[in-house]
Structure 1
């Protein structure tokens, strides 16, 4: 067995490890991840971790190599098999005898991508923690042992815990709900089938068969084209709303009865209204991509809005720091810590959406209609070389710091002007820059986009 290993630097991301299978990521990397993480677990006083994987074609291969690395590193492994990432998080949080967890998943990325998400001691494992795995592997700073493996099934217990999201909610309005569910052939499928068989209401399912080829559409609910099948289902059956999930089901997408997309920050506004009725004055965390109308709405409801960095691990860490019972991102990660564990779970968010509409006494379509209408871009994404993306953002920050711009620089650059606001940041998961802008007027939006383009041009870049 190897005594050390050097990862392709681009796969060590801010809040996970991710690469292209057969190019930047392979079995040898998975083995090294296992050896390094096992060493971290042991040196933190742990002994056993739980491992799961999503439905991608490469996931079983990576899981086998990872487990070999973990056991050679001296930790015992509980293998829970195929399932969504939040099922792995649930297992780590609920099993008293485990000290951490790893999910093999490519999330929403192209089907030839894959990677690893981590949790250690109930807390997100990211940033310098992931950098440390790379340093340990390069130096061969690995403990050695002979760990054992066992298999446990947690799907039944996980689904039962999801059902707690509608406990105490009036049953008759729940039974009247008619909902569409699109699993996108991702890892959520079996859990969606079991969950909906036990939920009140009428449920119509799409693409619950797990298939790493993703034959119907790519599982990324933040792209409206991927919601077309769900929109057609909702229209054909006259449903109240529809929900969709990404490949590992830690993100949710939603549409109302008219087919309108309910974006991540709009969902968070609905959840905030529901939570703040029961927890007045609580903090609600949203990422820098979120609409200003969300932050205004949280304040109007008596809550404490907090803007924070994008990234599921970063938001979870901020929630732990602040004690916030609710957080979310534009990308559809929603985190409940009021009656749940504080991790991002698309399926639990769907259950809580059912509960929220009933408790608020308002159909989802009406909740969406009542929101202020703004002119905004979707998340604009354009490729930039990995070595260039963060440098370009630093250049924009430096230029704006020399001006009188109203700038927030906690994650990229977010600038507020009389027209509204615009954002430019580097993705932590792909070699792209992302931009977003929002205004109350169409002409204001055009001016904001012009400011983004001007800053890109000054750094020798352009949206493609």
Structure 2
């Protein structure tokens, strides 16, 4: 008798992961089906007769234990052994599931982290890796197909528990010099996310003065939303830096793969500005290498990489495409405006905000300059935040294509690597379709407010010409 298939709500199968609203679009049965389908893919792609092993972790959301349990049941049902690493940040799961990094013995072939990342408390989902590489795009399409057809492999897997937090912290500290951070006063805001306990263990072993905020894991996120790319979520961190006269502050999202920063003057240091700081040291050790940033990054970053002798590469937004492009180009450093930073010079190429924090402390110590001084040296520009507005699912990609065609007909120069990015004498503007929601995304950067107003007027005119009015 053929296995019964499972059809997911189509909204939860995203480009980079599987994500939905618990109790509405994401249920316990979905988690079990994810386990069975992912386990089936692990078996078929790795081949052989086994054993097949997958590590599983989870964040601190209220629904994560339930979803993790169902996920594990699904994996075991298809004959895959599960190594549960428990509560922790997504990068700790990546660490466990990357062959070159893994402290697990024998090694695992893949990994799944139950996490809602930076999203609201009632959201949750799954981030997956296979063979040390991101699992996304057509991989997720294949997972959905296997589930719908009920084409699952069968077997009887086992379950083991492993505590790798101490080994992970030890690796985070490996690239920090003995005196890096000595004399510095730093605030760390975990946002009640899954990185909190690791931050406590990490800072306990580091030199300097460390002020910890919201490190207790709480799936209600009682203090603020766990997304450090939204400036209002950095209010507690800014207050801590100012009241304690600290050198700078660091913030993390719900699963610890996005970093945010506040300098000693209370200014946000955005991810592209952090990348420019990292690039100075990386390019000194890896001259002429490629450094990647997504299409939402500011022009200064790309110019700075070239000035330092590197090869700047603008690429698609999304942690999975960035990681794949890094491997293709052997880039030692990459990042995106959402706060995902990737090091492959001394680390393993996956996005790890805790490692990015350690590297920032080390860079500042070796440059003998404060974060505020480095921020002062950067050009002053004005930019919009990421402006997102809803469009019909069938319309979002078509609208971007129509704007591209219009620009080409007008003889405009633009990049189409991910949507459309147009450079003008005022600055630049970007229009792209979200890969995860039925949204269009706009961002613009200019030298002054007048230039920014002109850029946004051009965006709105181009959208109007294809029948779309942007919500203000």
Shift of 1:416: 1.1
Structure-1 separation of matches of 2:15 and 2:410: 30
2:318 matches 1:317 = no
SS at match of 1:174: coil
SS at match of 2:257: coil
Q: What is the match of residue 382 of structure 2?
A: 375
Q: What is the match of residue 227 of structure 2?
A: 220
Shift of 1:300: 0.1
> Structure 1, residues 73-110: CA drift from partner, whole Å, max 9, x if none?
11111011110000000111213520000111111111
- Specify every segment of 5 or more residues in structure 2 that has no aligned partner in the other structure, as ranges: none
**Which of 157, 161, 169 is the equivalent residue of 1:159?**
169
Shift of 1:432: 2.3
Retained in 2: the 8 A contact 1:376–1:445?
yes
> Structure 1, residues 113-141: CA drift from partner, whole Å, max 9, x if none?
11111110011111101111011111111
| Number of residue-to-residue matches in the alignment | 461
Structure-1 separation of matches of 2:202 and 2:391: 41
Q: What is the match of residue 440 of structure 1?
A: 447
2:415 matches 1:408 = yes
Shift of 1:396: 2.0
Shift of 1:3: 1.7
Structure-1 separation of matches of 2:397 and 2:159: 41
* TM-align CA RMSD: 1.3
Structure-2 separation of matches of 1:234 and 1:403: 49
Shift of 1:170: 5.9
SS at match of 1:108: coil
Structure-1 separation of matches of 2:220 and 2:443: 30
Shift of 1:444: 1.4
SS at match of 1:142: coil
SS at match of 2:355: helix
Q: What is the match of residue 109 of structure 2?
A: 99
Shift of 1:376: 1.3
SS at match of 1:372: coil
2:334 matches 1:333 = no
421-430 vs 155-164, greater mean Cα deviation? 421-430
Equivalent runs, 1:26-425 vs 2, <5 Å: 26-45=27-46, 47-93=52-98, 94=102, 95=104, 96-166=106-176, 169=177, 171=179, 174-425=181-432
Shift of 1:331: 0.7
Retained in 1: the 8 A contact 2:341–2:352?
yes
SS at match of 1:381: strand
SS at match of 2:174: helix
402-411 vs 122-131, greater mean Cα deviation? 402-411
SS at match of 1:305: strand
Structure-2 separation of matches of 1:74 and 1:394: 45
Retained in 1: the 8 A contact 2:3–2:151?
no
> Structure 1, residues 52-87: CA drift from partner, whole Å, max 9, x if none?
011111111110111111111111110111100000
Shift of 1:461: 3.0
SS at match of 2:55: strand
Shift of 1:424: 1.0
Structure-1 separation of matches of 2:419 and 2:200: 40
Structure-1 separation of matches of 2:405 and 2:143: 32
Structure-2 separation of matches of 1:21 and 1:401: 43
> Structure 1, residues 415-441: CA drift from partner, whole Å, max 9, x if none?
111221100112223332221111123
Task: Give me the TM-score of the superposition, normalised by structure 2.
Answer: 0.95
Retained in 1: the 8 A contact 2:247–2:370?
yes
393-402 vs 38-47, greater mean Cα deviation? 393-402
Structure-1 separation of matches of 2:167 and 2:393: 41
Task: Give me the TM-score of the superposition, normalised by structure 1.
Answer: 0.97
SS at match of 1:405: coil
Structure-2 separation of matches of 1:346 and 1:221: 11
- Specify every segment of 5 or more residues in structure 1 that has no aligned partner in the other structure, as ranges: none
Retained in 2: the 8 A contact 1:381–1:432?
yes
Equivalent runs, 1:17-32 vs 2, <5 Å: 17-32=18-33
